[in-house]
């Protein structure tokens, strides 16, 4: 799992790269920076780069969100052209000041080289070169801003789409599981079993979590694990002794947060495809937490099942993969092993 770079550090790196780009392609390289105090022309260039950097952030945070992404393309183009003209005007003003300073008589009476200005300073390049240089940096800033903003907008759209799908899927909760559990509780009530009250409490707790808590972006990890524990307990109640179920939990979950219902699909899948009363059915589930790394391991032996996918409900594995990709980029490792005799899932999640 790779650590993501904080956004503020990314912006610092972009700013430094933007300021360094002109000196990378300049004939004198970074040696021009040492002449900022003595060479007005170098100072003018550096200030123009700062203006370009200021435009980059103006374009990124104001013009693109407020104009381009709202379809106001003409106004956006006019605003960009206006900003470029303002920057060029500033460069011209500073350039004229450089000419006045450079016209002062040099302290050295001897003639200077053709490659230097009076005073031994490097000769100033033609204004046309500076203009093309500024235009290049200006266009780089525009394209980088557009790329970052459109990528971010795509990511937000995918998250909203998944949130809508999740809301719909949570409303179903797998109706077959719910009806079968109610039938099991009804059978216990008929038998006047001592487990009836506990089963009702677990089912109500499960429903309460899905309806009330799972609508948040983040939930306490302890609640998510309790939800899974109640789900497994109700499955054990429904299946009785026909399935060998091993469920283990370890770790200190207090203080940790997790996206709701991000683990349940793998467990639902095990009960969906690993249960047949006529065959030896085995399901193993392990949840462990070490520091900030959460590990989920689910295994089910493959058996013959007769399942109606259209009525199964639940949150599918493919949907969960998409959620993991968007909610935990570079913070999760998902390994799925599908072979003729069994199906296993191992998920490692960094909860930092």
d(CA 43, CA 342): 69
Asked if residue 100 and residue 54 are part of one domain, the reply reads: yes
* Residue 296 neighbours by CB under 8 Å, 6+ apart: 263, 266, 285, 286, 287, 345, 346, 347, 349
Please check whether residue 165 lies inside any domain of the structure: no
State pLDDT tens for residues 57-74.
888 888 888 888 888 989
Asked if residue 300 and residue 216 are part of one domain, the reply reads: yes
d(CA 85, CA 77): 12
195, pLDDT greater than 70: yes
Asked if residue 191 and residue 126 are part of one domain, the reply reads: no
Asked if residue 207 and residue 141 are part of one domain, the reply reads: no
Please check whether residue 2 lies inside any domain of the structure: no
Please check whether residue 167 lies inside any domain of the structure: no
Please check whether residue 1 lies inside any domain of the structure: no
| Tokens standing for residue 250 | 């370890």
Please check whether residue 246 lies inside any domain of the structure: yes
In this structure, of 104-113, 132-141, 254-263, 274-283, the range with the lowest mean pLDDT score is 104-113
Last residue of a domain, one of 123, 157, 191: 157
pLDDT tier at 210, thresholds 50, 70, 90: confident
Length of the chain in terms of residues written: 352
Asked if residue 323 and residue 178 are part of one domain, the reply reads: yes
In this structure, of 36-50, 247-261, 266-280, the range with the lowest mean pLDDT score is 36-50
Asked if residue 219 and residue 302 are part of one domain, the reply reads: yes
Burial of 240 by CB count in 10 Å (0-12 exposed, 13-18 middle, 19+ buried)? exposed
279, pLDDT greater than 50: yes
Asked if residue 63 and residue 188 are part of one domain, the reply reads: no
Using the CB atoms, write b or e for 291-330: b if 16+ within 10 Å.
eebbbbbbbbbbbeeeeeeeeebbbbeebbebbbebbbee
d(CA 170, CA 179): 16
105, pLDDT greater than 70: no
CATH number at residue 331: 3.30.565.10
Asked if residue 267 and residue 180 are part of one domain, the reply reads: yes
287, pLDDT greater than 70: yes
Q: 250: which strand partners? A: 288
Please check whether residue 102 lies inside any domain of the structure: yes
Asked if residue 212 and residue 106 are part of one domain, the reply reads: no
Please check whether residue 29 lies inside any domain of the structure: yes
- Structural domain span for residue 49: 7-157
Please check whether residue 162 lies inside any domain of the structure: no
DSSP-derived letter for residue 69 is G
Quick one: pLDDT at residue 333?
Answer: 96
State if pTM tops 0.85.
no
Last residue of a domain, one of 157, 192, 219: 157
On average, the pLDDT of the chain sits at 77
Most confidently predicted of 20-34, 135-149, 307-321: 135-149
Asked if residue 103 and residue 196 are part of one domain, the reply reads: no
Residue found under tokens 């393309």: 73
Asked if residue 206 and residue 114 are part of one domain, the reply reads: no
Segment 262-287 shows an average pLDDT of: 90
85, pLDDT greater than 70: yes
Looking at the structure of the chain, the number of domains it has is 2
Q: 346: which strand partners? A: 297, 335
Asked if residue 190 and residue 153 are part of one domain, the reply reads: no
């Amino acid at each position: 799992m790779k650590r993501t770079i904080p956004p503020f550090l990314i912006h610092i790196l972009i700013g430094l790269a933007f300021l360094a780009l002109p000196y990378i392609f300049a004939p004198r390289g970074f040696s021009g920076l040492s002449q900022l105090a003595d060479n007005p022309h170098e100072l003018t260039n550096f200030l123009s780069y700062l203006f370009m950097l200021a435009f980059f952030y103006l374009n990124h945070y104001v013009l693109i969100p407020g104009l381009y992404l709202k379809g106001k393309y003409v106004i956006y183009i006019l605003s960009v052209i206006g900003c470029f003209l303002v920057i060029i005007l500033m460069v011209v003003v500073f350039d004229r000041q450089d000419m006045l300073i450079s016209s002062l008589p040099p302290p050295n009476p001897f003639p200077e080289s053709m490659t230097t200005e009076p005073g031994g300073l490097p000769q100033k390049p033609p204004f046309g070169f500076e203009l093309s240089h500024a235009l290049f940096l200006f266009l780089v800033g525009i394209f980088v801003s557009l790329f970052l903003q459109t990528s971010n907008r795509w990511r937000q759209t995918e998250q909203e789409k998944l949130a809508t799908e999740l809301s719909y899927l949570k409303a179903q909760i797998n109706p077959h599981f719910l009806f079968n559990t109610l039938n099991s509780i009804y059978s216990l009530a008929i038998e006047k079993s001592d487990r009836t009250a506990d089963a009702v409490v677990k089912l109500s707790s499960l429903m309460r979590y899905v309806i009330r808590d799972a609508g948040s972006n983040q939930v306490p990890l302890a609640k998510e694990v309790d939800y899974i524990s109640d789900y497994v307990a109700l499955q054990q109640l429904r299946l009785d002794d026909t399935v060998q179920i091993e469920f283990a939990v370890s770790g200190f979950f207090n203080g940790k947060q997790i996206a709701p219902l991000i683990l349940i699909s793998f467990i639902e899948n095990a009960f969906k495809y690993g249960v047949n009363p006529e065959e030896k059915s085995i399901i193993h589930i392990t949840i462990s937490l070490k520091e900030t790394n959460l590990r989920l391991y689910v295994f089910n032996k493959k058996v013959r099942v007769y399942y109606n996918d259209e009525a199964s409900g639940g949150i599918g594995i493919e949907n969960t993969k998409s959620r993991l990709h968007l909610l935990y980029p570079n913070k999760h490792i998902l390994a799925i092993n599908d072979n003729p005799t069994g199906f296993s899932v191992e998920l490692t999640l960094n909860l930092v």
